Amino acid sequence: MKKNRDCDLKTCFLCQHAIPEWLSAVAANRRHQAFKKGEMLFREGEPATGIYFLYDGKVKVHKQWGPEKELIIRLAKKGDILGHRGFGSDQRLYPVSATALEDGTYCYVNNAFFEASLKVNPALTYRLMQFYAAELQEAEKKMRNLVHMDVKSRLADALLEISRVYGDKQFTINRQDLASLAGATYETIYRTLQDFTQQGLIEAEGKSITILQEKKLRQLLTAAL
Amino acid sequence: MKKNRDCDLKTCFLCQHAIPEWLSAVAANRRHQAFKKGEMLFREGEPATGIYFLYDGKVKVHKQWGPEKELIIRLAKKGDILGHRGFGSDQRLYPVSATALEDGTYCYVNNAFFEASLKVNPALTYRLMQFYAAELQEAEKKMRNLVHMDVKSRLADALLEISRVYGDKQFTINRQDLASLAGATYETIYRTLQDFTQQGLIEAEGKSITILQEKKLRQLLTAAL
DNA sequence: CGCATTATTGACCCGAATCAAATGAGGTGG
DNA sequence: CCACCTCATTTGATTCGGGTCAATAATGCG
C-alpha cells in the first residue's frame, strides 16, 4: 500500500465519512502534498480555494494583528481539518493562516468538490457540523480565558493544550509561538516559564519543554476561577 | 393567522428550511414561549435539552467567570439560533447562558426531534453548518480583538455591534452588559463612554446610547491595527 | 421616609507591555 | 581559524492601561 498516495481511512476525515460510491471520486479529486516545517499552507486574506485534511504533522492556525503580532487560534494535528473557516462567509477568504510546526502531509480538495460531497453525503455534513460545534465551544471558552485569566494561567493552559495535541508530556515549541498561543509577549512568557521551572512544574531546555506536574498546572486554571 | 402560535417562515430558521412533509411534524413538536426581560432561557452547565429559535426580542449569550464576572459572547436577535452550542460535545451541557435583554418569544424543539430533522433534511444540516462556520469566524475575530485591542477600541467595537444587531444608531443597554461585551470593568467602561461623549462620538443619557459619528468609531478599530 | 441599588469619581496599585542592553549561539566568508 | 554578522536568549528598568477599592451622590422603591 502506497502510504503517501492513499488516504488512510482512519485518519482522513473526508475518506472516513465518504460513501462507498464516492471513494473513487474522492481519490480522483484529492491532492496529497508534503510540506516542510515553517511552510504556510494558506494565508489569511487569500481566497479560500479548498479544504485541507491534515494527514501528518502539526500545524498552527493563527490570525495576524498588525505587522508583528499574532494570536494562535488553535493547534491542529493528524486527522484534523484546516481551511474550513472559509465556509459560510460571502467573500470566501481564509480568515486565518496555517503554518506548519513540523514536516508533514495534507490531503487537499477544492471547494467545489467538497461542497458536492456534502450535498450527496448528509452524514459527512452532519459530522462536519458537529466538528464546527466543538470548535465553537473551544473558541468561546478560550475567549473568556483570554479576558479573565492572567498570563500565568493562560500559559499553563497553553502548555497543557500543546501536551494534549502532541500526546506527550514532552514536546518542542519555540517561545514566540508559545507567547502567541497564550496571548502574551515573548518576554513575559520567558519570565513566567522561568518561574514555572523554578517551581518544578516544568523542565525547559532549549525549545524542548517537559511537563512535570500536570496536576499543579491544572490547579492554576481552576484557581483562577 | 395566529401570529403567536405559528412560525413565521421568514424568521424561524427551522421552519424556513423544513421540507414540506415535515412542516406538520415541526408544528407538532415545537413549543412557542414568551419570555420577559431578564429571564434566562437556559443556563451554563445545565443539560442541553433542545434548541431555541429566536422569534422576537434580543438575547445575550454569555459565559460566566467566577461569581461576579461574565463575558458576553454574542448578541442574538430575531431569526437567530440559541442553544446550538450544546451540539458536538459528549456531555451535552450548555456551555453558555442565554438571558433576555427585552421581552420576546422563542420557538423551542428538543434535541431528539431536531436531530431527526437534520437526518432527513440535509439542506437544513448544510445551512446550520454554514451558520456555525460564520459564528466560528466571528468568535475567532473577537478572540484576537480581546487580546490585542485596548479598551477604547473594544468599546467602539461593542457599540457598533449593538447598533448592528438592533438595526439602529440608537439603542438601550446597561453599562454592566456593555462592560461584559467589551471585556472590561464597569468603571473603565463608564469612563471611556464619558470620553466618547465628550469627543462627540456618541450621546448617552441613562441607558440610551446614540451613535453620532459611526465613521470615527470605525477608525478607532482600524487604527488599533 | 429609610433602605438598597446604581451612578460617579478619585486614589492607588499591579500585571504585563515596552524599551533597551548585554550575552550567547550559530553561520558565512575571507 | 578568526572576524563578523545576524538572530535568539536573557535580564533589567521603566511605563502605563486598566483593574481594584473606597467614598459620595443619586435614584429608585417598598
Tens digits of residue pLDDT in B76-134: 999 999 998 887 767 789 999 999 999 999 999 999 999 999 988 999 999 999 999 99
Cβ–Cβ under 8 Å, residues A108 and A115: no
DSSP, collapsed to helix, strand or coil, labels residue A56 as: strand
Q: What is the pLDDT of residue B47?
A: 93
User: Which H/E stretch holds residue A162?
Assistant: helix A151-166
Do B119 and A118 lie within an 8 Å CB cutoff?
no
- Retrieve residue A215's grid coordinates: 496536576
User: CB of B9 within 8 Å of any CB in chain A?
Assistant: no
Q: What is the pLDDT of residue A3?
A: 42
Could you tell me the sign of the dihedral formed by the alpha carbons of B158, B162, B165, B167, in that order?
negative
pTM over 0.85: yes
Which of A69, A84, A146 minimises the CB distance to B143?
A146
Which of A89, A130, A148 minimises the CB distance to B65?
A148
Quickly give B50 CA vs C28 C1' distance in Å.
Answer: 66
DSSP, collapsed to helix, strand or coil, labels residue A142 as: helix
Q: pLDDT tens digits for A87-113?
A: 777 778 999 999 999 999 999 999 999
Q: Which of residues 185 to 214 on A have a Cβ less than 7 angstroms from any strand D atom? A: 186-187, 190-191, 194, 206-207
* Rounded Cα distance, A162 and A174, in Å: 12
- Region B135-154: what's the mean pLDDT? 94
- Quick one: which of B62, B10, B7, B4 has its CA closest to B34? B4
Q: What is the pLDDT of residue A145?
A: 93
Which band of pLDDT confidence, cut at 50, 70 and 90, is reported for residue A6? low
* Rounded-to-10 torsion of CA B164, B185, B83, A119: 50
Share of chain A above pLDDT 70, in %: 94
Q: pLDDT tens digits for A175-188?
A: 999 999 999 999 99
Q: pLDDT tens digits for A159-179?
A: 999 999 999 999 999 999 999
* Rounded-to-10 torsion of CA B2, B116, B17, A117: 180
- Per-residue pLDDT for A2 more than 50? no
Q: What is the pLDDT of residue B3?
A: 42
Quote the radius of gyration of chain A (alpha carbons, Å). 19
Q: Where are the beta strands (DSSP E) in A47-161?
A: 50-56, 59-65, 69-76, 81-82, 97-100, 104-110
Q: Say which amino acid occupies B52.
A: Y
Share of chain A above pLDDT 90, in %: 69
What b-and-e string marks burial along B153-167, b requiring 16 or more CB atoms within 10 Å of the CB?
A: bbbbbbbbbbbebbe
- Per-residue pLDDT for A9 more than 80? no
- Retrieve residue B101's grid coordinates: 435583554
Q: pLDDT tens digits for B17-43?
A: 778 778 778 778 888 999 999 999 999
Which band of pLDDT confidence, cut at 50, 70 and 90, is reported for residue A8? low
Q: What is the pLDDT of residue A12?
A: 74
- Per-residue pLDDT for A1 more than 60? no
Q: What is the pLDDT of residue B25?
A: 80
Q: What is the pLDDT of residue B132?
A: 92
- Per-residue pLDDT for A197 more than 90? yes
Question: Which bases on strand D have an atom closer than 7 Å to a protein beta carbon?
Answer: 8-13, 17-22
Residues of chain B contacting residue A137, judged by C-beta atoms under 8 Å apart? 85, 88-89, 95
Contacts of the segment B205-213: beta carbons below 8 A, 24+ positions apart:
B207/B172, B207/B173, B207/B174, B207/B175, B208/B170, B208/B171, B208/B172, B209/B159, B209/B162, B209/B170, B209/B171, B209/B172, B209/B173, B210/B169, B210/B170, B211/B159, B211/B160, B211/B163, B211/B169, B211/B170, B212/B169
- Region B2-17: what's the mean pLDDT? 62
* Rounded Cα distance, B71 and B160, in Å: 17
Do A140 and B65 lie within an 8 Å CB cutoff?
no
Residues of chain B contacting residue A122, judged by C-beta atoms under 8 Å apart? 119, 122, 125
